[in-house]
Amino acid sequence: MTADARPRAPYGMEYARIAVPDMAETIEFLRYHVGLQLEQHDDEYAYLRADIEHHCVELLHEPGRETSHTVAIGFSVESDEVLDDLRERVLAAGLEVLPLQDRMKGLCQRGFGVSDPNGLVVELFTEFQEYAEAPVIELRPLDLVHPFIATDKYDETLAFYTGVLGFLPSDYVGDGTVFLRAEDRYHHSLALQRNNEYYVAHLCFMMKSLDHVMRGRARALYKGVPIASDMVNHSASTSIAFYMFEPKHGPRYELCDGHRVFTPEEHETHRPRRMAVDPRNIDVWRAAADDWGRF
């Protein structure tokens, strides 16, 4: 299918909005362990950024919580035409078009929100504000690449992201995991996993190099942050990554290097692979078909 003949997906992931029990602690966690820069905050919210985009994480301070909760994800859209088309597709699917969060209205030109089948709000917008320069921090991510969503409504959620929002399947692992790409042509800008409960399982940040991934891992080890999954060489996206997890600070944070970006031609012609449910189809460094233990 040519680019003109298919409904366009959003461009790419810009931010996650995460409610946390102790915002000051989470800000410090994200500065030291992920490399984000704090740009703006008051007692109720904070914006942190990785690169020139206005923010990649918005924190909401909710002291009553025991653990964090991801309440929304934001995706940029390449033009007004695509935004209008997405809005029409949402309405045609019988879904409610929600207003953007009030603060977000001032940080883009136009946009709207829609709840996915799990109740996760997806905000779509044009012309996200940006900074002239990236943060002057050597050890920082270049981009927020994707959320990974575990869901007990897998089929419905897959139908929403592909059929309504236009994401393209890049690969499947069995009938239980799918990697979906958007117009920024990352192998995946969103991934879904069939599960017996819904939760945002991780957020993936792309570091500048494998060296920086390893420095992030060293910081996690030094501070005793639990490493939920250690060095993984991803079969589908070709990235090498590790995952750290402190439930009060957000979902698992994946720091990666080498995430595959499709060429414009591959983006239009790629046939999603149907990979067997085998640990080596998740991490090529697993030793055998029964080497599941470290996930």
Stretch that binds Fe ion, among 18-26, 86-94, 116-124, 247-255 (CB under 5 A): 247-255
Identify which of residues 34 and 204 has a Cβ nearer to Fe ion in the complex: 204
In whole angstroms, how close is the CB of 79 to Fe ion at the nearest point?
28
Tell me whether residue 125 or residue 161 sits nearer to Fe ion (CB atom): 161
Shortest Å distance, C-beta 223 to Fe ion? 22
Which range in 10-18, 80-88, 251-259, 275-283 contacts Fe ion by CB under 5 A? Answer: 251-259
Residue 173: burial class (beta carbons within 10 Å; 0-12, 13-18, 19+):
buried
Number of residues near Fe ion (by CB under 5 A)? 3
204 contacts Fe ion (rule: CB under 5 A): yes
Residues 59-88 that bind Fe ion (CB under 5 A): none
First to last CA, the chain: 37
Cβ atoms < 10 Å from Cβ of 204: 27
CB of 148 to Fe ion, least distance (A): 5
What's the CA gap between 140 and 54, in Å, rounded?
A: 15
Beta pairing partners, 233:
240
Nearer to Fe ion, 128 or 186 (CB): 186
- Site mask for Fe ion (CB under 5 A), range 270-289, x = bound: --------------------
Q: How far is the CB of 10 from Fe ion (least distance, A)?
A: 18
Q: Which residue, 204 or 282, is less far from Fe ion as judged by CB? A: 204
Stated as kind and residue range, the H or E segment containing 154 is helix 154-159
Name the pairing type of β-strands 12-20 and 57-61: parallel
Q: Could you say whether residue 13 binds Fe ion (CB under 5 A)? A: no
Q: With beta carbons less than 8 A apart as the criterion, state whether 232 and 240 touch.
A: yes
Which residues in 123-152 contact Fe ion (CB under 5 A)?
148
Least Cβ distance, residue 18 to Fe ion (angstroms): 16
Sheet holding 111-115, edge to edge: 37-41, 45-49, 57-61, 12-20, 69-76, 121-125, 111-115
Q: Is the dihedral of CA 215, 206, 270, 287 positive or negative?
A: positive
Q: Identify each DSSP E strand in 77-133 by its residue range.
A: 111-115, 121-125
**206 residue type, one letter:** M
Q: Which among 77-85, 158-166, 199-207, 259-267 is the span making contact with Fe ion, rule CB under 5 A?
A: 199-207
Find the shortest distance in angstroms from Cβ 127 to Fe ion.
Answer: 27
The answer for 275, left when phi > 0, alpha when psi is -120 to 50, beta otherwise, is beta
Could you list the residues that contact Fe ion (CB under 5 A)? 148, 204, 254
